[in-house]
């Protein structure tokens, strides 16, 4: 058996260790009820139409209150479903007050990791590959461990698929500057 | 006659058991001193942990100083133990029997001391485990090309193997002591005896296994200090980059180790009433080892310097050695020469060798000299490297001195405790010798 | 860069929100500060900002009067880095060390947070801007009523909108024009006087050194502080680029070898104050009929007068052998055009005006005027006042004739010789108003502190010279409740009894109002659409046009006569030494010398940081019995100071050198001369017996026969290089790029701009004076300076900028046990801080010793931490760090190229050091591309590599300096 | 063999014990002994074959060697990081690590082997093991014809002879 294969075996071992290290916790409670299932799932609103910077910069960006306002100027109530109208109230109050919703952070990489959405989105990585089936989640939770081994597993694979021109994928300085 | 053999056995056991008797005030005072010195060292290290290595006198270009010197020194000390016990065992050197147990104890405790220092000198010691290979979520392993990783493997292997070697040797003795021990000692010896009954089959496996251990340990001893020497030799720093280092370091290690054994044996045999078992002729044989290794070390010094001085005027290598001999560290260099070259040579005179105080003095001097040798190698080369603009003199701070002294405190604490638990000589082998002796007596009588 | 008029509103509102959002760490992820766990969205997103993407604004540097253009990089609304404006005709994209450090003035922890008034208790207490402006208006009105001269203004040179506002305000306050005094202590006033007297020309001459084949600098450090150093360095580099006979030859004339002198081909070691005699000697030789050197006809009438000068006397006054002067003169006669520069601070003594005059005559005689020296091109907006005028102001203040003194970015107490007694004078003024950004000795005496906006928060314009107006615009909203001084004056001015007529009190409109003139000057005609023109100008950075043709002025021979007298012999006791006070590239004239980077970065020549030092020649040191670091007492009639000695062979035995600073100011006299006197002072020097740990970076300043920094000459055109053909392993391959650098030592002037730029770009911490004495300087690039082969050998200064060499066979890599450093496929020697455990073996094994270790946690005192570059990790204690070739910039360039689907262009990616190098000595590029500049330079005959014999295969190629000693 | 009937004699002197052992074996009795130290003459008299510990220890060492190769070469290839222009699989440095691992694993198997072997020995020679001859006495156990054994032991100079169990 080739050294390469043995190496792959070792890698698999460490990768499995990685998955063990990271059990996905349930999503944190957010200040107001916001359902990705409704927005991204039922309404089929594209991710980048709210997370506008995902294709342009390192951070995907939290939608501005102006953007919420954009739709909820009209979507204010649901006569048939009073409970939905009730759910909308807190948001409408905040929008009226002109303040901002203080969302609780879900995904986080350490400060010594330089992660940029831009490169991943432009490379054609689907949001779900890292964030999970967000459009099915009422409350967003972290599904991927976001550990180095987890990142590398994909980077190594992509590099093995087409090594030429992808040297940077497994360079330390790509993520640690 | 038969009884005489039995008595001989009994007297041996008695002498050994006596060393484990209730400790006197002297012992407690000694232990207290050693312990507090170690504690002070630990406290001064806590300063570094709290706010960083700025407590040291280190600065570019000299990134290593006292702490690495301590590491190399204690690894060196650790050498004699396994040397005396394994190599001399393979060479069937009789005088080994009386002294090797203490030497082995010294080895284990010295490695325990040495192993600390590379970790203590790290910028981020809390990540020291990254130097060990274990499957991790990062998918990143150590760099096996680094001499420091070789150190990790060499030193930890050495620690494990010499500990095993020590305990295996202790097993039959533990069984013997257990017979008349009580309380915790009985339980402890029960464990250390590994269910030893002394049946012939056990002995057959045991003797065989002991041979293998010796066979493993011997190349290991040589490899460990060679590896330590490679920490320096594989670098490209003038004064470090030298093919001579491995043999030179091994010889130096044995020199310092044996000197340390003597330094310890002389007071110990007196304090623990072991004169009957550890005789002066044993120590004399060790002193001869000091002469031998001292000569090798002297030869190495000479070769190194003479080769370096062959270089052209602007040669950094040459410059470094001139700096060692004439620069601000000259006193270190010349003290080292006095202690490691002249000292052992004096032992060529029987009168010097036989006089306990002189021998003791020279051995202590050799230990000082060997510490200075490592300091000289580590520091003077660094502070005088290739770009003169960066030259800088390193002076250890009190924190570093405290940690250096603390190492001795730590070592002697362990050693004094060990002396009260483990048999300081190999009972079984002494019995064998005793039987042998009485036989010869019988043969003459008959 | 976007439309400024709309951005004004846009940006202000937007920053108010970002303030919250930024703090909440929306843009974290790579931010060095720990982000909170809450994400606060923008209410209204700024349309021109993408978090994590830089946004650039053009503005101008106000650290000195050169007025270089600046491109400011901002992230999430805070400026993080200043770089030169490549379109700006002055700096051409380069900035000096002080320009790079300007951003620390913006984030200086001690900056005033708002207006302050000194209460009865003597403590400064905050008050509102309205109160402050009312208070000021009332007292100015009251004082103005008493008649002229009761209200005075002491300002730095303000050749722009601010200056105009000041003048209008003073007029409204009933003050005379001369009540506005411009304090520029290091302005080469003698040159103005000479130009006016001899040529009838106003202002300072403007030089084009690139054209000159010879340059003689009489104590004028044109590569450090004199006039426009960035421009000077670039022009010299251009002139040096010409090979053979046309290559510019530089001669430094002075008692002390300055950094500029280091770049010179020849040093005429004249005694302090002897520069004038040297200049006269040159004239004497050139006008000597026997020599038959062709000189301009207009100087012919002077020859009989000059012929009367006795060479022996001249040589005696100069303190150099006559032959040396002769040789230099003949060279000047042969190598034309040339440029004679001076005086500079180091030669600005009693004879400074004569020196300036003779230099001017020489320029005329050699036909330099109109070719390398241009008169009438200086800016006409504002003129520095003479020392007399400053003295007069202080005298009036001391006499109690001044009721209100407005101090605008001038620090008379801190930057004038103590013997001017500015402190006492200001103490007599009932109301001292200071517009300073942060406390200085003058604000300590201020009654009303109205903190100005930093230049990076202001709208203004700087007329640099005819045809060059650089525009200053805010790159971020003010950090604190500060207000631009021009606005304050305008607002106060409109509240005066006879209100000043201002188009508006908003700085932007004030600027817009001037835009018409600028545009007309630039375009020649009145612009049709002013708003557009002005916006374009703001985006570009200024209004630039070719200088108006000015016919060369004629020399007035009669006026020249009085300047041709033999200088007086040196006075004073023989036991006394000449005190040479000199500015440095880092300290400048002392203003802004308190910025952390400028104090942390070691001086190139002495390698001293954080401390003043007294340059003492080895012989003098021996005579006084002092060594480097020992305290020496220097006393002059004016005062006494204790300074640590620094033994330096680059100074005459009869002189000592002292960098400008409080110690120097304490020693300087204030004689009533038209110009400030910085040199020509005699001092007695004695050892005190005390000693300090002087923070010196250098170990040994000698090469010890190691040929570390070779030089080439016509005789030996290439340095010796070892044969490295033998290979043990196949070289690592670099599939795409192999980033490399070339450093031309013939261009490098040791100005230290690269060092400061690196601090700014890479979050290199400032560790402070204590760490400096321990040799724990954290800089990623340093300039190693060697004085010669060995102690006692002849002085031969060579500079070697030393940074990580990014070796192919990097010795640091294999010794790291945890892969914290390794070789990337692009040829970089990567350092992964978060992997480093701190064994420090890499540094031990690095032959170049370019790795620095974090001995303790670095402190970035608020708000200095706002300057940190979010793309670069802030390193914690216990880890090793080093130059990365600005990996973040490389990646940025690579990604941009990839997004545009094209290969990376040569010169597109530029590390901070190369970007700011005024002499463009540093070239960065891809060694895999045989046509890239860096590859071509690597093939140059002067190419060599540092410590090449170690076979580390560095990525940095040095080009040996060219020596023309002896050749003429 | 546990529960085996036989006679146990104790000696103070190895030489005497050795002679007795020879006599017993000459009489065709199976003999075990226990002693405080491996007296050569006695071991020789027992004339039992040499321990085959090596059969365990050697494979152990080889395992260590393979482990070393796998660890060094495998991990280097798993993520190819170039350091100092050296090849990914740089043999000389790896040899050092491999050697250390060989010694380590070898010694540990050796330890296990001797402990296990010893325990099994004590079990198989339960009769003589019971005598705890670890101090100053040598125990000799002879299985089979008790009467003859006891006689031979007494003649051999046994200080004490008793039947077991």
pLDDT digits 0-9 by tens, A23-79: 456 778 889 999 999 999 999 999 999 999 999 999 999 999 999 999 999 988 888
- Dist CA C395 CA C421 (whole Å): 9
C226 dihedral zone (left: phi>0; alpha: psi -120 to 50; beta) = beta
Rounded to the nearest integer, the mean pLDDT of chain B is: 91
Contact with chain A for residue C854, Cβ under 8 A: no
- Residue C444 DSSP class: G
Check CB contact under 8 Å for D82 and C729. no
| Chain A nearest C-alpha distance from C896 (Å) | 11
pLDDT digits (tens, 9 = 90+) for B193-231: 988 988 899 999 999 999 999 999 999 999 999 999 999
Task: Tell me what pLDDT residue B300 has.
Answer: 94
Per CB-CB distance under 8 Å, the chain A contacts of D74 are 3, 6-7, 9-10
Q: How many helices (H) and strands (E) does chain D have?
A: 7, 4
The CATH 3.30.70.20 portion of chain C extends over 711-719+734-962
User: Using alpha carbons only, what angle is made at residue B171 by residues B166 and B176, rounded to the nearest 5 degrees?
Assistant: 130
Task: Tell me what pLDDT residue B8 has.
Answer: 84
Per-residue confidence band for C228, with pLDDT thresholds at 50, 70 and 90: very high
- Window 423-462 of C: residues touching A by CB (8 A cutoff) are none
pLDDT digits (tens, 9 = 90+) for C31-44: 333 345 788 899 98
Per CB-CB distance under 8 Å, the chain A contacts of C836 are none
Cβ atoms C888, A177 nearer than 8 A: yes
Token pair for residue A114? 């330089």
Q: State which residue of chain A sits closest to B136, comparing Cα positions.
A: A14
User: If you count residue pairs, one on A and one on D, with CB atoms under 8 Å apart, how many are there?
Assistant: 25
Per CB-CB distance under 8 Å, the chain B contacts of A153 are 139
Mean pLDDT of C61-68: 93
**3-state SS assignment for residue B358:** helix
pLDDT digits (tens, 9 = 90+) for C531-563: 888 899 999 999 998 888 877 889 999 999 999
Choose, out of B130, B136, B137, the residue to mutate when testing the contact with A (most A CBs < 10 Å).
B137
Token pair for residue A140? 């967003």
Check CB contact under 8 Å for C52 and A65. no
User: If you count residue pairs, one on B and one on C, with CB atoms under 8 Å apart, how many are there?
Assistant: 166
Task: Tell me what pLDDT residue D137 has.
Answer: 84
Per CB-CB distance under 8 Å, the chain B contacts of C704 are 314, 319, 388
Q: For the structural domain made of C577-691, what CATH number should be given?
A: 2.40.40.20
Choose, out of C832, C844, C953, the residue to mutate when testing the contact with B (most B CBs < 10 Å).
C844
Nearest to C719 by CA among C962, C967, C964: C962
- Dist CA C784 CA C805 (whole Å): 14
- The strand pairing partners of C633, in sequence order, are C642, C686
ipTM comes to: 0.91
Choose, out of D71, D78, D91, the residue to mutate when testing the contact with A (most A CBs < 10 Å).
D78
CATH architecture designation of domain C711-719+734-962: 2-Layer Sandwich (3.30)
Q: State which residue of chain D sits closest to C822, comparing Cα positions.
A: D83
Choose, out of D103, D131, D154, the residue to mutate when testing the contact with B (most B CBs < 10 Å).
D103
Task: Tell me what pLDDT residue B277 has.
Answer: 86
| % of chain C with per-residue pLDDT over 90 | 80
Q: What ranges in B146-244 are assigned the alpha helix state H? A: 147-180, 183-192, 200-233
Contact with chain D for residue A8, Cβ under 8 A: yes
Contact with chain D for residue B126, Cβ under 8 A: no
Which residues are within 8 A (CB) of A78 and not within 5 positions of it... i.e. 6 or more apart? Answer: A84, A85, A88
Check CB contact under 8 Å for C822 and D87. no
Q: Which of A14, A148, A153 sits opposite B135 (nearest CB)?
A: A14
Check CB contact under 8 Å for A103 and C38. yes
Counting beta carbons within 10 angstroms of the beta carbon of residue A162, is it exposed (0 to 12), middle (13 to 18) or buried (19 or more)?
exposed
| Chain C nearest C-alpha distance from D70 (Å) | 18
Q: Which of C699, C786, C811 sits opposite B236 (nearest CB)?
A: C811
| Cis preceding-peptide flag for A97 (omega within 30 of 0) | no
Check CB contact under 8 Å for B197 and D107. no
- Asked if the model's pLDDT at residue B67 lies above 50, the reply is yes
| Chain D nearest C-alpha distance from C335 (Å) | 51
- Dist CA C559 CA B141 (whole Å): 82
Q: Give the homologous superfamily in CATH for domain C206-374.
A: Dimethylsulfoxide Reductase, domain 2 (3.40.228.10)
- Dist CA C608 CA C418 (whole Å): 24
Per-residue confidence band for B313, with pLDDT thresholds at 50, 70 and 90: confident
Tell me how far apart the terminal alpha carbons of chain D are, to the nearest angstrom. 12
- Dist CA B350 CA B281 (whole Å): 12
pLDDT digits (tens, 9 = 90+) for C742-763: 999 999 999 999 999 999 999 9
Per CB-CB distance under 8 Å, the chain C contacts of B54 are 771, 774, 776, 855-856
Check CB contact under 8 Å for D12 and B201. no
Task: Tell me what pLDDT residue C4 has.
Answer: 38
Token pair for residue C392? 């007069």
Check CB contact under 8 Å for A64 and C42. yes
pLDDT digits (tens, 9 = 90+) for B235-266: 999 999 999 999 999 999 999 999 999 999 99
- Residue C216 DSSP class: E
B290 dihedral zone (left: phi>0; alpha: psi -120 to 50; beta) = alpha
- Residue B199 DSSP class: B
Choose, out of D85, D86, D89, D90, the residue to mutate when testing the contact with C (most C CBs < 10 Å).
D85
Per-residue confidence band for B3, with pLDDT thresholds at 50, 70 and 90: low
Q: φ, ψ for residue C752 (rounded to 5)?
A: 75, 10
Task: Tell me what pLDDT residue C313 has.
Answer: 94
User: Could you tell me whether strands C655-659 and C639-647 are parallel, antiparallel, or unpaired per DSSP bridges?
Assistant: unpaired
pLDDT digits (tens, 9 = 90+) for C284-319: 999 999 988 999 999 999 999 999 999 999 999 999
- Dist CA B101 CA C67 (whole Å): 81
Nearest to B203 by CA among D53, C429, C902: D53
- Asked if the model's pLDDT at residue C22 lies above 50, the reply is no
- Asked if the model's pLDDT at residue C2 lies above 60, the reply is no
Check CB contact under 8 Å for A17 and B140. no
| Chain B nearest C-alpha distance from C604 (Å) | 12
User: Using alpha carbons only, what angle is made at residue B326 by residues B322 and B327, rounded to the nearest 5 degrees?
Assistant: 95
User: Could you tell me whether strands C681-691 and C630-636 are parallel, antiparallel, or unpaired per DSSP bridges?
Assistant: antiparallel
The CATH 3.40.228.10 portion of chain C extends over 206-374
* CB burial readout C202-220, b (16+ within 10 A) else e: ebbbbbbbbbbbbbbbbbb
Q: State which residue of chain C sits closest to A173, comparing Cα positions.
A: C830
- Structural domains in chain B? 3-445 (1.20.1630.10)
Check CB contact under 8 Å for B204 and D15. no
Check CB contact under 8 Å for A7 and D74. yes
Per CB-CB distance under 8 Å, the chain B contacts of D12 are 2-3, 5-6
Token pair for residue A16? 């499995």
pLDDT digits (tens, 9 = 90+) for C700-738: 999 998 999 999 998 889 999 999 988 888 888 899 999
Contact with chain A for residue D66, Cβ under 8 A: no
Check CB contact under 8 Å for C895 and A114. no
Q: What share of chain B is helix, strand, coil (3-state, %, to 5)?
A: 80, 0, 20
Check CB contact under 8 Å for D84 and C809. yes
- Asked if the model's pLDDT at residue C25 lies above 70, the reply is no
Mean pLDDT of D38-54: 88
Token pair for residue B1? 């006659």
- Dist CA C760 CA B230 (whole Å): 39
pLDDT digits (tens, 9 = 90+) for D100-142: 999 999 999 999 999 999 999 888 888 888 777 788 888 999 8
Q: State which residue of chain D sits closest to C826, comparing Cα positions.
A: D82
Check CB contact under 8 Å for C878 and B63. no
Does an H or E element contain C158, and which?
A: none
- Window 52-91 of D: residues touching B by CB (8 A cutoff) are 53-54, 57, 61, 71-72, 75-76, 78-79, 81, 83-84, 86, 90
Does an H or E element contain C412, and which?
A: helix C412-415
Q: Which of C27, C29, C824 sits opposite A173 (nearest CB)?
A: C824
Counting beta carbons within 10 angstroms of the beta carbon of residue C298, is it exposed (0 to 12), middle (13 to 18) or buried (19 or more)?
middle
- Dist CA B418 CA C945 (whole Å): 58
- Asked if the model's pLDDT at residue A6 lies above 60, the reply is no
Per CB-CB distance under 8 Å, the chain D contacts of C842 are none
- Dist CA C1 CA C58 (whole Å): 8
Choose, out of C800, C834, C837, the residue to mutate when testing the contact with B (most B CBs < 10 Å).
C837
The CATH 2.40.40.20 portion of chain C extends over 577-691
């Amino acid at each position: 058996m080739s050294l390469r294969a043995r190496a792959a075996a070792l890698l698999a071992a460490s990768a499995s260790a990685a998955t063990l290290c990271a059990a996905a916790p349930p999503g944190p409670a957010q200040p107001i009820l916001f359902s990705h299932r409704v927005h991204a799932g039922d309404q089929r609103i594209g991710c980048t139409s709210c997370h506008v910077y995902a294709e342009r910069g390192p951070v995907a960006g939290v939608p501005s209150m102006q953007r919420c306002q954009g739709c909820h100027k009209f979507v204010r109530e649901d006569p048939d479903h009073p409970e939905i109208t009730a759910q909308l109230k807190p948001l409408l109050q905040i929008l009226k007050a002109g303040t901002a919703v203080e969302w609780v952070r879900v995904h986080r990489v350490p400060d010594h990791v330089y992660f940029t959405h831009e490169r991943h989105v432009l490379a054609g990585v689907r949001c779900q590959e890292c964030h999970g089936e967000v459009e099915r989640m009422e409350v967003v939770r972290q599904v991927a461990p976001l550990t180095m081994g987890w990142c590398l597993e994909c980077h190594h694979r992509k590099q093995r698929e087409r090594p030429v021109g992808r040297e940077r994928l497994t360079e330390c300085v790509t993520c640690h500057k | 006659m038969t009884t005489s053999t039995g008595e001989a056995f009994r007297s041996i056991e008695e002498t050994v058991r006596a060393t484990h008797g209730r400790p006197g005030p002297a012992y407690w005072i000694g232990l207290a001193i050693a312990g507090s010195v170690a504690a002070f060292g630990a406290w001064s290290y806590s300063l570094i942990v709290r706010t960083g290595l700025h407590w040291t006198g280190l600065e570019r270009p000299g990134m290593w100083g006292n702490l690495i010197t301590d590491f190399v020194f204690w690894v060196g000390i650790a050498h004699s133990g396994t040397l005396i016990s394994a190599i001399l065992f393979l060479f069937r050197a009789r005088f080994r029997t009386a002294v090797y147990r203490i030497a082995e104890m010294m080895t284990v405790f010295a490695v325990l001391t040495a192993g600390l220092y590379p970790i203590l000198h790290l910028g981020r010691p809390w990540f020291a485990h990254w130097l060990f290979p274990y499957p991790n979520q990062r998918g990143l392993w150590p760099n096996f090309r680094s001499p420091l990783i070789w150190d990790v493997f060499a030193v930890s292997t050495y620690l494990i193997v010499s500990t095993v070697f020590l305990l295996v040797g202790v097993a039959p003795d533990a069984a013997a002591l257990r017979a008349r021990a009580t309380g915790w000692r009985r339980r402890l010896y029960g464990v250390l005896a590994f269910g030893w009954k002394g049946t012939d089959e056990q002995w057959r496996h045991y003797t065989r296994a002991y041979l293998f251990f010796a066979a493993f340990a011997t190349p290991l001893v040589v490899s460990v200090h060679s590896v330590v020497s490679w920490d320096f030799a594989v670098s490209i720093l003038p004064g470090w980059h030298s093919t001579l280092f491995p043999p030179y370091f091994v010889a130096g290690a044995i020199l310092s180790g044996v000197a340390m054994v003597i330094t310890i044996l002389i007071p110990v045999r007196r304090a623990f009433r072991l004169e009957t078992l550890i005789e002066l002729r044993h120590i004399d044989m060790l002193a001869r080892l000091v002469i031998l290794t001292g000569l090798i070390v002297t030869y190495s010094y000479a070769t190194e310097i003479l080769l370096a001085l062959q270089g052209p005027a602007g040669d950094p290598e040459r410059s470094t050695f001139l700096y060692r001999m004439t620069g601000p560290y000259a006193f270190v260099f010349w003290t080292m020469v006095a202690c490691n070259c002249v000292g052992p040579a004096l032992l060529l005179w029987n009168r010097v060798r036989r006089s306990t105080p002189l021998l003791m003095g020279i051995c202590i001097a050799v230990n000082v000299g060997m510490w200075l040798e490592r300091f000289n190698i580590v520091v003077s080369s660094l502070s005088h490297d290739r770009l003169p603009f960066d030259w800088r003199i390193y002076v250890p701070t009190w924190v570093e001195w405290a940690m250096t002294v603390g190492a001795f405190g730590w070592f002697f604490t362990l050693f004094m405790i060990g002396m009260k638990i483990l048999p300081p000589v190999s009972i079984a082998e002494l019995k064998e010798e005793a039987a042998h002796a009485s036989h010869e007596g019988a043969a003459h009588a008959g | 860069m976007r439309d400024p008029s709309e951005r004004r509103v846009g940006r202000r509102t937007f920053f108010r929100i970002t303030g919250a959002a930024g703090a909440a760490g929306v843009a974290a992820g790579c931010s060095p500060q720990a982000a909170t766990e809450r994400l606060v969205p923008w209410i209204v997103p700024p349309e021109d900002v993408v978090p994590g993407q830089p946004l650039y604004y053009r503005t101008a540097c106000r650290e000195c009067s050169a007025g270089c253009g600046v491109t400011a990089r901002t992230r999430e609304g805070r400026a993080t880095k200043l770089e030169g404006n490549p379109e700006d005709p002055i700096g051409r994209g380069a900035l000096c060390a002080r320009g790079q450090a300007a951003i620390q003035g913006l984030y200086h922890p001690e900056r005033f947070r708002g207006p302050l008034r000194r209460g009865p208790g003597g403590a400064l207490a905050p008050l509102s801007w309205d109160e402050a402006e009312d208070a000021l208006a009332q007292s100015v009105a009251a004082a103005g009523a008493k008649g002229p001269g009761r209200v005075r203004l002491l300002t730095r040179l303000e050749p722009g909108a601010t200056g105009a506002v000041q003048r209008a305000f003073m007029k409204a306050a009933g003050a005379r024009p001369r009540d506005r005094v411009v304090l520029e202590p290091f302005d080469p006033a003698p040159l103005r006087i000479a130009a006016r007297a001899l040529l009838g020309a106003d202002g300072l001459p403007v030089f084009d050194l690139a054209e000159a084949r010879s340059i003689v600098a009489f104590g004028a450090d044109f590569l450090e502080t004199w006039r426009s150093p960035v421009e000077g360095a670039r022009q010299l580099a251009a002139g040096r680029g010409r090979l053979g006979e046309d290559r510019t030859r530089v001669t430094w004339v002075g008692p002390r070898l300055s950094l500029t002198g280091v770049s010179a081909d020849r040093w005429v070691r004249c005694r302090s104050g002897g520069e004038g005699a040297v200049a006269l000697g040159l004239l004497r030789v050139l006008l000597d009929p026997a020599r038959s050197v062709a000189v301009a006809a207009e100087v012919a009438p002077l020859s009989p007068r000059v012929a009367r000068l006795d060479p022996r006397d001249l040589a005696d006054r100069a303190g150099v052998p006559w032959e040396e002067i002769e040789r230099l003169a003949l060279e000047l006669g042969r190598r034309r055009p040339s440029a004679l520069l001076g005086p500079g601070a180091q030669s600005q003594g009693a004879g400074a005006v004569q020196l300036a005059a003779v230099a001017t005559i020489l320029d005329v005689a050699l036909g330099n005027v109109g070719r390398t020296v241009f008169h009438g091109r200086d800016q006409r907006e504002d003129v520095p006042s003479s020392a007399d005028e400053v003295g007069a102001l202080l005298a009036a203040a001391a006499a109690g004739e001044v009721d209100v003194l407005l101090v605008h970015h001038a620090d008379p107490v801190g930057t004038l010789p103590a013997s001017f007694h500015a402190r006492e004078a200001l103490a007599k003024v009932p109301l001292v108003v200071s517009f300073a950004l942060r406390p200085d000795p003058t604000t300590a005496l201020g009654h009303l502190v109205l903190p100005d906006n930093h230049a990076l928060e202001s709208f203004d314009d700087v007329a640099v010279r005819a045809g060059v107006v650089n525009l200053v615009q805010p790159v971020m909203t003010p950090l604190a409740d500060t207000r631009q001084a021009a606005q304050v004056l305008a607002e106060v001015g409109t509240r005066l009894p006879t209100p000043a007529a201002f188009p508006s009190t908003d700085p932007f409109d004030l600027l817009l109002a001037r835009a018409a003139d600028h545009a007309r000057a630039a375009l020649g005609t009145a612009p049709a659409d002013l708003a557009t023109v002005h916006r374009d100008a703001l985006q570009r950075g200024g209004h630039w046009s070719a200088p108006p043709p000015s016919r060369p002025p004629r020399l007035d021979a009669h006026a020249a006569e009085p300047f041709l007298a033999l200088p007086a012999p040196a006075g004073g006791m023989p036991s006394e030494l000449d005190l040479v006070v000199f500015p440095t590239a880092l300290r400048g004239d002392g203003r802004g010398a308190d910025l952390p980077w400028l104090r942390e970065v070691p001086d190139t020549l002495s390698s001293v940081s954080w401390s003043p030092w007294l340059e003492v020649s080895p012989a003098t040191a021996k005579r006084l019995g002092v060594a480097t670091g020992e305290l020496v007492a220097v006393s002059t009639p004016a005062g006494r100071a204790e300074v640590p000695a620094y033994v330096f062979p680059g100074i005459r035995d009869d002189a000592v050198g002292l960098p400008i600073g409080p110690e120097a100011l304490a020693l300087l006299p204030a004689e009533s001369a038209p110009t400030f006197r910085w040199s020509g002072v005699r001092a007695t020097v004695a050892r005190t017996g005390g000693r300090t740990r002087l923070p010196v970076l250098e170990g040994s300043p000698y090469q010890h026969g190691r040929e570390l920094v070779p030089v080439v000459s016509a005789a030996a055109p290439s340095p010796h290089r070892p044969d490295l053909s033998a290979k043990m392993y196949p070289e690592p391959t670099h599939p795409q790029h192999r980033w490399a650098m070339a450093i031309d030592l013939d261009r490098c002037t040791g100005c230290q701009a690269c060092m400061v730029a690196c601090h700014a770009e890479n979050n290199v911490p400032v560790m402070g004076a204590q760490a400096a004495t321990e040799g724990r300087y954290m800089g990623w690039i340093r300039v190693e300076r060697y004085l010669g082969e060995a102690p006692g050998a002849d002085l031969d200064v060579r500079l070697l900028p030393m940074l990580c060499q990014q070796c192919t066979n990097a010795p640091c890599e294999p010794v790291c046990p945890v892969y914290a450093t390794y070789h990337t496929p692009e040829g970089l020697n990567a350092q992964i801080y978060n992997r480093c455990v701190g064994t420090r073996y890499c540094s031990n094994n690095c032959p170049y010793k370019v790795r620095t270790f974090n001995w303790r946690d670095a402190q970035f005192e608020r708000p200095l931490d706002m300057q940190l570059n979010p793309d670069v990790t802030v390193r914690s204690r216990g880890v090793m760090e080093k130059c990365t070739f600005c990996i973040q910039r490389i990646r940025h360039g690579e990604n941009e190229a990839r997004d545009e689907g094209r290969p990376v262009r040569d010169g597109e990616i530029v590390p901070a050091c190369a970007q700011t190098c005024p002499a463009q000595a540093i070239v960065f590029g891809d060694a895999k591309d045989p046509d890239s500049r860096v590859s071509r330079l690597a093939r140059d005959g002067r190419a060599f590599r540092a410590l090449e014999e170690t076979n580390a295969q560095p990525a940095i190629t040095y080009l040996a300096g060219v020596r023309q000693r002896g050749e003429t | 063999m546990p529960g085996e009937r036989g006679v146990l004699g104790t000696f103070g002197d190895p030489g005497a014990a050795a002679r007795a052992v020879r006599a017993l074996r000459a009489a065709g009795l199976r003999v075990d002994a226990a002693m405080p130290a491996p007296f050569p003459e006695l071991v020789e008299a027992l004339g039992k074959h040499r321990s085959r510990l090596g059969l365990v220890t050697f494979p152990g060492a080889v395992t260590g060697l393979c482990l070393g190769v796998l660890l060094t070469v495998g991990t280097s290839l798993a993520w190819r990081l170039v350091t100092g222009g050296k090849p990914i699989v740089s043999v000389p440095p790896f040899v050092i690590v491999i050697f250390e691992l060989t010694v380590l694993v070898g010694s540990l198997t050796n330890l296990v082997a001797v402990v296990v072997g010893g325990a099994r020995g004590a079990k198989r020679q339960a009769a003589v093991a019971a005598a705890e001859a670890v101090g100053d006495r040598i125990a000799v156990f002879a299985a089979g014809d008790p009467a003859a054994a006891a006689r031979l032991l007494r003649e051999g100079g046994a200080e004490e002879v008793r039947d077991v169990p």
